[in-house]
Amino acid sequence: MPVTLTMNNSDTLNIGISFNFSAQDAWSSIGNKNKVPIFLIGQAPNATIDFPENKLTLIDQPSTASLLFGEDLTNNEFALPVGILQRYGCQRIICCRVTYPEEIADYDQAIIGLETPQRTGLHLIKSVFAHYGANPIAALICNDSLFLDSTHIQWITDFTELMTEVNSTYVENYYPTATVADVESSRSAESDVGWATKNSRLILCYGHVKDKDDPEKNYVAQVEPLKYHLVGAFAQQFHNDPSMSPGGQKLLGVSEVIEPMKLSTTDHESDNERITDTGVVTLNRISIINSVQTAPDDQTISSDLVLWGTRNTLYPSEESLLSFLHAIPFRDYIASVLESRAAKFLYRAANVANGRNVEESCREGLNKYDIKVNFIPELSNYQENYLYFEVEYVIGSVTQRIHFNVQLSIGS
């Protein structure tokens, strides 16, 4: 649905001030732009022929979404996540459109799909690098009611296996009726499947928000799973600095929390604290204090909803560095730089000189980060055309607790 311009008679004005008036379409605004790839899979039964099934389709700007989706958004599962991701500036949203079978028990045939004889469904994520030159930072299923059925949560094992193959991360949201106690019990289960999965390539989120009503456009706020905001914020942060955590970033375009959560930055029994203790990302509300205080009571100028949590689902079973949200994506980024830098030195002589050239090129490509790339001649094998390197990287540290010792004294 392209933007329509309505001109008045002033379009023929030679000298003076003229105007045109337009209505903004559903995807006509986009935040600070980034091209970090994100993979979405879902259904869009009334989309146009330009949005084929089981093919990779790129949404790079709002007008592309309008063209692909058409005017009838009934049961279009891409419309909500694409709109949210574009608030965070995402310009490389790679979509796979599928059609669900009649029986919900057979949905995995469409969503997970097949590897052979032709890739379909989520297996198409393996083709993203060949088409776009980079693997997605994250993959999401757009059917937000799917995991109300406990059967389907078992698919997460298949999802994480696919993510490992393509150096990506699967992100899922607890269902709207889940309680904090449900999160705690499901995450504490000894099994390693479903909600209890412990995997560095799985991020679970808890929480839903509403975006903002717009009376002028007769628009009623929708319920939005936190997972789309996490991925949008992750892409935004990854574009700016992949070595840093996306935790603490402001949720864009939202007004309230759906779940009846007790939120706090100081209470260890708050819902957000209990949730993050299980290795699940949630949200919190923080106050922004005016830096220029104009009156004794003029301090709090706003309060924002923000992402809350720093760990993937390895935590708390494993508290290593690999359990931090940004550790694996940053490692994937480093590997992609090393690959692109080293590839041009293939087919050259297998000797110390070529090893040093690879070392220098890789260091140059990663010089803005705290990364050590060292060629190790004694572990290389020139007769077998093999050069060996050691790489050590450091992720941005995450402050998780700030403590104040406040004392009261009697004034003189």
Between CA 46 and CA 32 the distance in angstroms is 30
SS3 content of the chain, % helix, strand, coil (to 5): 30, 20, 50
**Residue 398: predicted pLDDT:** 75
**Residue 212: predicted pLDDT:** 76
Q: Which residues of the chain have pLDDT under 70?
A: 1-31, 213-219, 289-302, 412
Report, in angstroms and rounded to the nearest whole number, the Rg of the chain calculated over CA atoms: 24
**Residue 154: predicted pLDDT:** 87
H or E stretch at 371: strand 371-375
DSSP 8-state symbol, 324: B
Supply φ then ψ for residue 6, to 5 degrees: -110, 110
Q: Specify the residue for token string 């590897």.
A: 115
- CA atoms within a 13 Å half-sphere pointing along the CA-CB vector of 236: 23
Name the token pair of 86: 């574009």
Q: What does pTM read for this prediction? A: 0.86
**Residue 3: predicted pLDDT:** 35
* 89 neighbors 236 (Cβ within 8 angstroms): yes
Grouping H, G, I as helix, E, B as strand and the rest as coil, residue 268 is coil
**Residue 147: predicted pLDDT:** 84
